Amino acid sequence: MTSVQNSVCFTAESTSDGVLERDFTVGEVTGALWSPAPGSDGPAGLDRSPLVLLGHGGGNHRKHPAMTGRAHLLVKGCGFHVAAIDAPGHGGRPLTEHDKQEIAVMQAAMAAGEPVGPIVVRYNAYLAEQAVPEWQAVLDALQELPEIGAEGPVGYFGLNMGTAIGVPLAAAEPRITAAVFGLHWPDRLATLAKEITVPVEFMLQWDDEHIPREEGLALFDAFASKEKTLHVNAGRHKELPRFESDSAVRFFARHLV
């Protein structure tokens, strides 16, 4: 498991369209933080802007276009801070031999037309064991920044592998008070979902070729949240409509402000 030191080291900075983007490291973990550019207003009535943690999908990275797009929506639409980190073996982080073996098995199954669910579930659970304490250390470090602070609300937004990591993170981390999940199997997550009581928005593709709809529904059903909303769209696994990101922004605006 990666050893993470609880301090943020900024390594690059740029501003575009009212959004300040800063690359950072916390120990060996590489991340990105998006914030309102200097002079921008945060949410009315709050001393500090809320923070939303973004979890990326398998095979992607912290600054994948989907991550950057969601971050800009949250910063520009709500005045929030948004952070994403590279999961172990992703983005700027090295692949281990175990990573390479699991990826090879997954690719072979896909090439043969065989189900990949059991492989993805197993590998994502392995990554989550490492990523959850990393996220907690990064959250500690980000809350030391004066513009974020330790008292502001925190949300989590992650689909696919972002859900595989986000569900155990939300179950273990009381600072997360609202979450958006979706597009994952219930195996290894349903038990943890029963421990989650914060508001949840959940996304499911009705024609997902990898995740049978009854399995997606089972994971949604497992959350113990009194307020949880299911968003179902027609289409295959990678055809989630982009407007669902707009819905997630409205969800966080309701629950973090």
Encoded tokens for 157: 């937004």
Position 210 scores a pLDDT of 94
Please say if the pLDDT value at position 51 is more than 90.
yes
Residue 158: DSSP 8-state: E
In terms of Cα–Cα distance, which of 173, 198, 174, 193 is closest to 182? Answer: 193
Please say if the pLDDT value at position 42 is more than 80.
no
Backbone angles phi, psi at 243, to 5 degrees: -65, -15
- Beta strands 176-182 and 200-205, pairing class: parallel
Domain boundaries, the chain: 9-256
CA distances from 149 to 51, 81, 98, 152 (A): 10, 11, 37, 6
- 53 pLDDT band (50/70/90 cuts)? very high
The stretch 64-76 carries a mean pLDDT of 97
In contact, 178 and 252? CB cutoff 8 Å:
yes
Please say if the pLDDT value at position 5 is more than 80.
no
- Beta strands 200-205 and 228-233, pairing class: parallel
The stretch 65-84 carries a mean pLDDT of 97
Position 45 scores a pLDDT of 46
CA atoms within 13 A on the CB side of 164: 26
pLDDT in tens, 189-241: 999 999 999 999 999 999 999 999 999 999 999 999 999 999 999 999 999 99
**Residues 112, 118, 121, 125, CA torsion sign:** negative
The stretch 172-191 carries a mean pLDDT of 98
Poorest-pLDDT segment among 37-41, 127-131, 151-155, 197-201: 37-41
Percent of the chain with pLDDT over 90: 92
Full-model pTM = 0.94
Beta-bridge partner residues of 26: 29
Rounded to 5°, the CA angle 61-67-69 comes to 145
CA atoms within 13 A on the CB side of 174: 2
CATH number of 9-256: 3.40.50.1820
Poorest-pLDDT segment among 4-8, 178-182, 232-236: 4-8
- 26 pLDDT band (50/70/90 cuts)? very high
